[in-house]
């Protein structure tokens, strides 16, 4: 079977990870998974929320949002409606949890990093692109914090790397990294967040039309694990470039 964009079932879309996209943020990335483009910034601030003060531990959190015309038809701004929708809440929480899975709070010290993931253009997989890009922004912000001596611990605050990908069953075939058109046709849709060493941080599978059996679930998990390994390699390559972001 050939996919609508010619990919094989286990192939990612073209992925780009551009660092240093903001002159203000301590870490910033424009990540694209095909036509999905997400702008991720990592804002480093000294201090932690009130409930964590005096603990000696840091905090990492995420916020996700779509620009109103990121999608094919314009959506109302949540700021104009005066409330955040359930989907936005859900994805923001997922981003925060995913990145906290590789943070050693003690090593981070009483510092806070907020990851803002704003979708400039959506074509399926915005949350997985967001997590994958946010990890790179986070790594840059932590490097910045160490260079400024705001992170004082001897050990590395990052205990691993994280990336995320979507998988789904379309017309009976498990596919990796669904684009929007595939996503709407999928019977089952799953988002998987993995560490660089191949363990799972989040597995969120939903039967959109037909419940799925264990065999299908296994096939999806296999595909996702492979996709995350590829993304992990792309993150490493992006972080290996000399170009450091210039936030002062």
Chain residues that interact with a copy of itself, rule: CB under 8 A:
22-25, 28, 35, 39, 41, 43, 45, 63, 65, 67-74, 77-80, 82-90, 92-93, 97, 101, 114, 116, 118, 120-123, 160, 190, 194-195, 197-207, 211-214, 217, 221, 225
Q: Is 70 helix (H, G, I), strand (E, B) or coil?
A: coil
Residue 28 DSSP label: E
| Other residues' Cβ atoms within 10 Å of the Cβ of residue 83 | 9
Q: Which is nearer to a copy of itself, 6 or 211 (CB)?
A: 211
Q: C-beta of 72: minimal distance to a copy of itself in Å?
A: 5
112 is in an annotated binding site: no
Q: Give me the least distance between CB of 111 and a copy of itself, in Å please.
A: 13
Q: Is 126 annotated as a binding residue?
A: yes
Give residue 30's Cα distance to chain centre. 12
Cβ at position 26, least distance to a copy of itself in Å: 9
- Please, which residue, 211 or 240, has the CB nearer to a copy of itself? 211
How far apart (Å, rounded) are the C-alpha atoms in residues 153 and 77? 41
The minimum distance between CB 118 and a copy of itself, in angstroms, equals 5
Sign of CA dihedral 181, 28, 55, 195: positive
- Is residue 144 classed as helix, strand or coil in its secondary structure? helix
36 annotated to a ligand binding site? no
**Neighbouring residues of 207: CB distance < 8 A, sequence distance ≥ 6:** 187, 188
Residue placing its CB nearer to a copy of itself in the complex, 217 or 239: 217
Length of the chain equals 248
Six-digit token string for 59: 């905090």
The reply to whether 125 sits in an annotated binding site is yes
**Judged by CB, which is closer to a copy of itself: 60, or 201?**
201
- In whole angstroms, the minimum distance from the beta carbon of 233 to a copy of itself comes to 18
Please count the other Cβ atoms lying within 10 Å of the Cβ belonging to residue 221.
Answer: 18
| Rounded Cα–Cα distance for residues 192 and 214 (Å) | 16
Q: Which is nearer to a copy of itself, 23 or 106 (CB)?
A: 23
Residues annotated within the binding site are 87, 125-127
- Binding positions for phosphate: 87, 125-127
């Amino acid at each position: 079977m050939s996919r609508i964009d010619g990919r094989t079932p286990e192939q990612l879309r073209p992925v780009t990870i551009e660092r240093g996209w903001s002159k203000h943020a301590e870490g910033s990335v424009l990540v694209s998974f095909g036509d999905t483009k997400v702008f991720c910034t990592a804002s480093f601030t000294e201090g932690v929320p009130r409930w964590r003060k005096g603990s000696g531990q840091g905090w990492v959190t995420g916020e996700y949002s779509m620009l109103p015309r990121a999608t094919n038809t314009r959506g109302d701004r949540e700021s104009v409606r005066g409330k955040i929708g359930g989907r936005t809440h859900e994805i923001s929480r997922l981003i925060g949890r995913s990145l906290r899975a590789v943070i050693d709070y003690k090593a981070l010290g009483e510092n806070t990093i907020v990851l803002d993931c704003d979708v400039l253009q959506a074509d399926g997989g915005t949350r997985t692109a967001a997590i994958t890009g946010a990890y790179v922004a986070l790594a840059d912000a932590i490097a910045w914090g160490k260079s400024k001596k705001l992170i004082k611990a001897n050990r590395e605050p990052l205990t691993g790397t994280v990336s995320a990908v979507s998988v789904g069953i379309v017309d009976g075939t498990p596919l990796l990294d669904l684009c929007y058109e595939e996503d709407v046709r999928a019977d089952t849709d799953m988002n998987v967040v993995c560490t660089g060493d191949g363990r799972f941080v989040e597995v969120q599978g939903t039967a959109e039309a037909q419940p799925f059996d264990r065999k299908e679930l296994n096939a999806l998990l296999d595909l996702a694990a492979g996709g995350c390994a590829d993304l992990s390699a792309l993150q490493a390559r992006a972080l290996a470039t000399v170009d450091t972001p210039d936030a002062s």
